[in-house]
Amino acid sequence: MKIAIAGAAGRMGQMLIRRIAATEGCSLAGAIEAAGSNALGRDASEVAGLEKGGVKITGDSAAAIGAANVVIDFTVPAATVAHAGIAAEKGVAMVIGTTGLDPQQTALIHAAAKNVPIMWAANMALGVNVLMALVEKTASMLDPSYDIEVLEMHHRHKIDAPSGTALALGRSAAAGRKVELEKVWRKSRDGHTGARPTGEIGFATLRGGEEVGVHTVYFASAGERLELTHRSFSREGYAMGAVMAAKWLEGKKPGLYGMKDVLGL
């Protein structure tokens, strides 16, 4: 499978390139960076700390995506939407790990998925997706007297909050309770907020240092508290899941898929 990487010179992009090199049956076919990047023109594998592989980092997204069977994108919303449009036009499958898309951008991803298979997930680490399944099951078993709170911490460079993974965990909890997350969420608290309403799903966000990602879902009642936690020690888990998803997309029909589909959860 020939894979193109968007954001190839970034930390996640470099990890993906190393994972592709270590995965049998996969090869790097294209590497994309934004205009003005110091990495443009450099060998993508060398940038990732490997021996030269012959694929240079380019700003020509159409050429890089057109050379691949699938493109993996962990960039920013505007770039991801643009790449999805190119992938749809060229018949190239896509794996998306970008979060923070607004409703209009989300609609454009859905539109692209009518032409090509797209796997889009807030988090591709295998353990996180097992956590989501556990959160949904736990929420379905405990009555609404158990308050649900989602706490997440990421590195100081992260630009969206709450994290896409935190929101996905909230959606898992809401699904377990058979409610719409948007009707019960509380994304932040400040000042005199009053007592916590029954059934609310709250979020708390921490940012600092180089923390890769920590997510904890609390189920708290008057007499006990259950905590379900996942911690990422490196981006390797995300890269492993993304490449697994890329291979899984081979031969799939156009449509929007998630890691639940990839893992059979």
CA–CA distance, 117 with 257 (Å, rounded to integer): 7
When mean pLDDT is compared across 26-35, 101-110, 121-130, 215-224, the lowest value belongs to: 121-130
Asked if the model's pLDDT at residue 236 lies above 90, the reply is no
Distance in angstroms between the alpha carbons of the first and the last residue of the chain: 24
3-state SS class at 152: strand
Mean pLDDT of 49-69: 97
pLDDT band at 246 (very low <50, low <70, confident <90, very high): very high
2, 90, 158, 252: the catalytic one is 158
CA–CA distance, 118 with 87 (Å, rounded to integer): 10
**214 within 8 A of 152, measured Cβ to Cβ:** yes
Asked if the model's pLDDT at residue 237 lies above 90, the reply is no
Mean pLDDT of 253-264: 94
User: What confidence tens digit (pLDDT) does each residue in 210-229 have?
Assistant: 998 999 999 999 999 999 99
Mean pLDDT of 177-181: 97
Active site residue 154: yes
Mean pLDDT of 156-185: 94
How much is the pLDDT for 123? Answer: 85
pLDDT band at 118 (very low <50, low <70, confident <90, very high): very high
Asked if the model's pLDDT at residue 164 lies above 90, the reply is no
Q: Which residue has the tokens 């996969």?
A: 26
How much is the pLDDT for 234? Answer: 82
How much is the pLDDT for 147? Answer: 98
| Domains of the chain from N-terminus onward | 2-120+235-263 (3.40.50.720), 126-232 (3.30.360.10)
pLDDT band at 264 (very low <50, low <70, confident <90, very high): confident
72 vs 123, more confident: 72
Asked if the model's pLDDT at residue 26 lies above 90, the reply is yes
Active site residue 83: no
Average confidence score pLDDT of the chain = 95
3-state SS class at 120: strand
How much is the pLDDT for 135? Answer: 98
CA–CA distance, 8 with 16 (Å, rounded to integer): 8
